[in-house]
A and B are shown apart, each in its own frame.
Chain A
Amino acid sequence: MQVVGKMESINCFHCGEECVEEVIRYSEKSFCCTGCKTVFEILNSNDLSYYYDLENAPGISPKLREGKYDFLDNDEIIEKLLEFDHGESQIVSFTIPSIHCSSCIWILENLNKLHRAIKSSQVDFPKKKIRISFSMDELCLKELVLLLARIGYEPNISLENFEEEKKGVDRSLIYKLGVAGFAFGNIMFLSFPEYFEIREFWLEQFKHLFRWLMFSFSLPVVFYSGKDYFISAYKGLRSGLLNIDVPIALGIAVLFLRSTAEIAMDAGTGFFDSLSGLVFFLLLGKFFQQKTYSFLSFERDYKSYFPIAVTRITSENGNHSEEQVPVYKIEKGDRVIIRNEELIPMDAILIKGDASIDYSFVTGEAEPVTRLSGDRLYAGGRQQGGIIEVEALKPVKQSYLTQLWSDEVFSKDKSSAFQTLTNQISKRFTYAVLSIAFISAIFWMFYEPSKTWNVFTAVLIIACPCAIALAAPFTLGNLLRIFGRNHLYLKDATVIEQTAKIDTVVFDKTGTITTSERNSITYEGIELTEQEHELLNGSLRASNHPLSRALYKMLKKNNISTPDVFREHVGEGLETSTSDLCLKIGSAAFVKRNALVTGESDTREDQQKTSVHISANDQYKGCFSFHNAYREGLSALFEDLAKDKELIILSGDNDNERERLEKLLPASTKMFFNQKPGDKLQFVKNLQQQNKKVMMVGDGLNDAGALAQSDVGIVISEDINVFSPACDGILDARKFDKFPEYFKLSKGAISVIKWSFILSLCYNIIGLGFAVSGNLMPVVAAILMPLSSISIVGFTTLATQMLGKKLGN
């Protein structure tokens, strides 16, 4: 019997995790597993130990599964994955979720030292991407991926990569901003002499040249940088909407036309400086609002989860052979092999093997269910255990889960339908400006007709709502960054405005308000003896089943005895024994078979709970039951939200947690159980038809429909690097208790925008005073416009920073 005492906490030299199960000593360093040690060996023997000098314990423990990348032998898949393929040189890009520190960048950019076939590699840290240039003659794609996986940087290759269109990056905003900035600067220089209005001889001589130069600089500003405003205004008018771009486009057009007319008729210098400044500031606002989290994606669907290829069995003349085929080639009736940890990509019937399917993607319930030969398996399930053979019932795209994505909500653009605060105000603003322009024009027509045209255009120029258009982008852009620092990553700025309007919040249960770790267990039954306890620990340690690992982690470990006989029955349980003790650990059916059961047992309840049963020497002992642990601060959070919002729990699970939830949550919370993914979508839709603004908070693919349908869909994620379904925002699970704060901040942002509107209206009134009285000088416009814009930017920045302090970071 091997006895291991309680260990002191030692952290792994490679990955920094605490060595819980074993400590491997190698070259005077400690490692938590052989995987970590192997990576160290590889790096050390290739002179790459600088990796460990850059950061403390930077590594990732490699988890490699046999045969996982066999599909990379398939030529069609290789062709799809390669970015460039010519002769001896190939280029491929991978997304590697585990990239997290400067050591990662260093090691991945020194891959050429690990294999001579790798020519160079470049990391894009924010996107967590690597681009490798290598030669396939010496190193095939599969070996390259295995090399990465072996040092802990396993690339993510999913069905999405297979379909990926090689699309270019959209840099048009940077170009437009560059053009506007360039023209703005130069026009400012050229118009400087005339600001002072000195009737000097040489100035008179050159002013025509200066003015026409300004005109030519302003051409790209109006027709390239500012073209989006004209397009958007046109689209708005066509759909009968007076959006903010209508007065802006009007302002730009009037500025340009009047300035051109002025210099053509030699009547003045024009407003080219204000024009280019206006466009430049507006684009700056747009640029600022465009905060993107390049390492996150808010547009994912099932394709990011599904495998790119599966193993198909073909039998010709009685000869069975296996081949890797892209999943789209799978047709009804094909036989497919699913290995441990692999995802079933289509609806199928189990033919052979012990299926233990984890449907957490589909239902949110992490507990594997056992299926027998002939049972139906649904797409999205993950096999846990041995190899199974299935027969496809439907092709991938027609499977139950994937069909959810054919619902129209997934093709609808949510943000376009939303009326932003700025657009709401712009309607009244446009009417007001137009009526002031006309009234003052009519007044001057009778008073001094020569000034009519001058005043009319001056009103439209000075009232151009530059400051109003900047208020929302800067406020929301700032808040977006503050949220990002506090681990709530939002897709874009309109989400904040939408959040401020939410009156109903729908929560998914499993994975959303519960943690994925099972950290509470209860034991029911006959007390285990010391000897039984020791053997139980020893047996659990040897098993790889997720429940065994979870239970082992939580049991007290005084002594551990290693079993002499150890047998694992896949999908059922463990059978272990020493000389005088025989334990059966596993499912109720497995343990109670041939066992003497004392006391009554409720089979219905047995099935509903996640539990591990134990019998010793064929005497039934009892069971360990796992409980979903609710996230910390859940009750307080619900209390807080319930004050002004309707709260609903929408769960795909059965209702055996209902009582516990009712105790935890405010009485007004409604609960619905056994909701399928389609039901959840419909449920949210019904709420919206009752004119409710719904936020859906979920975590898995099963919530995808509801997330897309809701006004704001937020995904709670334990690890933001793991992919989450399409949504409007991703919240780090550690910040779950801060959830109500985000609502308050969103509402605060709306009031900041409203205050900025009032501030910019003040500027407009001052400007209108000049315009209506008929003495708007270009220099006044050139001062007033940037001044109002800059003070709005300053005000919103300060105000949002104050708001952000409330979050207490």
Chain B
Amino acid sequence: MSIIYMLLAISVVVALIFFVAFLVSVKEGQYDDVYTPSVRMLFEDELVKNDPEKNQPVNKVKSN
């Protein structure tokens, strides 16, 4: 029955791992903006184009 010490230790460690993961995600700001990612994931992937001209973005801005 002393296996229960082992199990307790494991369960607390696992719980602590998830808890630390939660703290890290809060600290990194994952909960600051909970809306935009939900929109972003719906954007379609773009087709890769092999046209070399198009790969050079055109500088549309000229200073006044």
Contacts and interface: CB of A to CB of B under 8 A. Distances in A.
Interface of A: 42, 45-47, 50, 54, 66-67, 102, 105-106, 109, 112-116, 123-127, 139-140, 142-143, 146-147, 150, 169, 171, 174-175, 178, 182, 185-186, 202, 205-206, 209, 213
A314 B47 CA distance: 54
7 contacts: A66-B64, A113-B57, A125-B36, A127-B33, A182-B22, A202-B4, A205-B1
Contact of B36 (A54, A124, A182): A124
A115 B23 contact: no
A175 B46 CA distance: 38
A50 B36 contact: no
A124 B39 contact: no
Given A105-B40, A174-B26, A182-B15, 20 more contacts: A46-B58, A54-B43, A66-B64, A102-B39, A102-B43, A116-B57, A125-B33, A125-B35, A125-B36, A150-B60, A169-B29, A169-B32, A171-B27, A171-B31, A171-B32, A178-B19, A178-B22, A182-B19, A185-B15, A209-B5
Interface in B19-64: 19, 22-23, 26-27, 29, 31-33, 35-36, 39-40, 42-44, 46, 49, 54, 56-61, 63-64
Contacts of A114: 57, 60
A42 B62 CA distance: 13
Nearest to B34: A126
B57 A50 contact: no
Nearest to B5: A209
A153 to B, nearest CB: 13
B12 interface: yes
Main secondary structure of the interface of B (DSSP, over half): loop
A102 B59 contact: no
Contacts of B6: none
Contact of B49 (A47, A174, A186): A47
Given A102-B42, A126-B36, A209-B8, A115 B1 contact: no
B61 A143 contact: yes
A528 B12 CA distance: 89
Given A174-B26, A178-B26, A182-B15, A124 B32 contact: yes
Contacts of A46: 57-58, 60
Contacts of B44: 50
Contacts of B39: 102, 105, 125
Interface residues of B, number: 33
A42 B60 contact: yes
Interface of B: 1, 4-5, 8, 12, 15, 19, 22-23, 26-27, 29, 31-33, 35-36, 39-40, 42-44, 46, 49, 54, 56-61, 63-64
Nearest to B33: A124
A123 B36 contact: yes
A147 B61 contact: yes
Residue of B27, B44, B58 most packed against chain A (CB within 10 A): B58
A126 B33 contact: yes
Contacts of B31: 171, 174
A148 B1 CA distance: 68
Nearest to A182: B19
Closest 6 CB pairs between A and B?
A: A125-B36, A124-B33, A147-B61, A102-B39, A182-B19, A143-B61
Contacts of B29: 169
A303 B36 CA distance: 28
Contacts of B27: 171
Given A125-B39, A169-B32, A174-B31, A47 B54 contact: yes
A416 B3 CA distance: 55
Nearest to B44: A50
Contact of B46 (A42, A50, A124, A139): A50
A126 B35 contact: yes
Contacts of B5: 209
Contacts of A150: 60-61
A178 B23 contact: yes
Contacts of A125: 33, 35-36, 39
A210 B44 CA distance: 52
Residue from B39, B43, B44, B61 with most neighbouring chain A CB atoms (10 Å) = B61
A178 B30 CA distance: 14
A202 B1 contact: yes
A200 to B, nearest CB: 11
B33 A146 contact: no
Contacts of B23: 175, 178
Contacts of A50: 44, 46
B63 A143 contact: yes
A115 B33 contact: no
Greatest chain A CB density within 10 A among B29, B63, B64 is at B64
A125 B1 CA distance: 55
A286 to B, nearest CB: 16
Given A171-B26, A174-B26, A209-B8, A109 B40 contact: yes
Nearest to A70: B64
A698 B13 CA distance: 57
A764 to B, nearest CB: 33
A206 B3 CA distance: 12
A83 to B, nearest CB: 14
B49 A115 contact: no
A123 B32 CA distance: 12
Nearest to B43: A106
A105 B37 CA distance: 10
A206 B4 contact: yes
B39 to A, nearest CB: 5
Contacts of B33: 124-127
Nearest to B49: A47
Contacts of A116: 56-57, 59
B14 to A, nearest CB: 11
Nearest to B47: A47
B33 to A, nearest CB: 5
A345 B46 CA distance: 47
